[in-house]
Amino acid sequence: MHILIATAGSHGDVAPYTGLGNRLQAAGHTVVMATHTRSAAHVRRSGLGFHPLPLDPYATSGAGHEKPGWPGGKGPGYRLSKVQQVQLARDLAPKMADALIEAGTSGVDVLLFSSSVAPLGLVAAAGLRLPSAGVFLQPLAPTREFPPVIADLPSLGPLGNRAAGRCAQSLLDLAFATGVKHLKRQLSVTAGALARRRATWPVQHGFSPVVVPRPTDWRPGMEVAGYWWPWEAPDWTPDSRLTDFLQAGPPPVYVGFGSMALDEPERLGRLVGRALRLAGVRGVVQTAWAGLSVDGDDVLTVGEVPHAQLFPRMAAVVHHAGAGTTAAGMRAGVPAVPVPMMLDQSFWASRLTALGVSPGRVPFRQLSAERLAAAIRKAVEEPRYRHRAQQLAALLDAEDGAGRVLTAVERLAERGTADG
């Protein structure tokens, strides 16, 4: 079976699908990923085929790794407004739609779509009459049990949560409206046919039911599969600098902000360095897109290092609470200090606190060296956070999220286009 996985966004929006794709290939299927060329090398290294999507809105505009402003004002890092983000998506959607048609007509048997391309993918699959499913990293469907994950909102109660979720879904539909209209015209998809497929469209969610239990008011076909972990090179070894640093003292604290980018990385670096000193801990700082760099005898700045290799060696992890980094920290069984900046990060930060593996989030716009140091000290010095993190890691280790998706995809292919 030839399977296409389509996704768009930052590294964290691509990496989990390399692990899922490898599991599907290990079962004898051929897997191609359609995503932006920035991720081509990583996809190919993982052993999957690659099909380019023509535009990278994240690299073009900064919308995907928006530059959060500092406390006290918008500053040079003020991020795009929601209206600007919707307009950007509307402008790019028709070209992305054409790319999905091209990818879907290359001998594909089953189409899998991440949430970042799902509104377009659903129409493309209907027009091409191919079985398809969603493979989402976040719980985006409206529910009474929590407010929309892309908005930093407190619970609004059962009715309010569901209403807010529908509003968030409408905003997403608006962002892709031009692309959906383009696809419906190109592939002769009627509104009725699309509505029928949408009502039963299967979606597998790539997070653990221990972390986010499946909402009881979700419709049938919306499932929580468990995590699918990113592919990692089997021959990866740390460089001598990292090995020597890890062996030279007690476990350090990791600090990294993934695909977030900042106009003032030097300022953030100074803040992080001071926080580590105030907390009395050693640190490993990952530069990544944030451009972080911290100097000091007890701090090492590193480039790309697999989280699965690094995090188990840490005393705690400080991160932006992106879905992938949050999952990697829980898998490693170490306490977390989330510093959420945007979109679903506040949701994951709240889950870390509720699960007992974090003393609480430190929102980026309220970040100071003193607040960060206090949270680090609490995470490192109070045993209950590590104890709970290790319990959670054992539960995650017993799950097989990619295996559940494999079973679902094979059943989907057997049923054919009628249920796809």
pLDDT confidence of residue 183: 92
Please give the pLDDT value at position 82: 47
Beta strand 316-319 pairing with 203-205: unpaired
- Say how far apart CA 311 and CA 1 lie, in whole Å: 36
Supply the pLDDT for residue 222: 97
Domains present along the chain, CATH in parentheses: 2-227+399-415 (3.40.50.2000), 240-397 (3.40.50.2000)
Tens-digit pLDDT string for the chain (420 aa): 999 999 988 888 899 999 999 999 999 999 999 999 989 999 999 999 999 987 554 444 333 344 455 444 433 333 444 455 556 566 777 888 888 888 888 889 999 999 989 999 999 999 999 999 999 999 999 999 999 998 888 999 999 999 999 999 988 888 888 889 999 999 999 999 899 989 999 999 999 999 999 999 999 999 999 999 999 988 888 899 999 999 999 999 999 987 666 667 788 889 999 999 999 999 999 987 667 788 888 999 998 899 999 999 999 999 999 999 999 999 999 999 999 988 899 999 999 999 999 999 999 999 999 999 999 999 999 999 999 999 999 999 999 999 999 999 999 988 764 444
Please name every residue paired with 222 in a beta bridge, in sequence order, or none if there are none. Answer: 203
Please name which of 112, 125, 116 lies closest in space to residue 24, comparing C-alpha atoms: 112
C-alpha span between 328 and 346 (Å, rounded):
17
Nearest to residue 41, comparing CAs of 32, 50, 31, 54? 50
Considering Cα of 180, then 181, then 187, then 192, what sign does the dihedral take? positive
Q: What is the pLDDT of residue 88?
A: 59
Length of the chain equals: 420
CA–CA separation, 95 vs 101, rounded Å? 10
pLDDT at residue 58, rounded to an integer:
46
Provide the whole-model pTM: 0.90
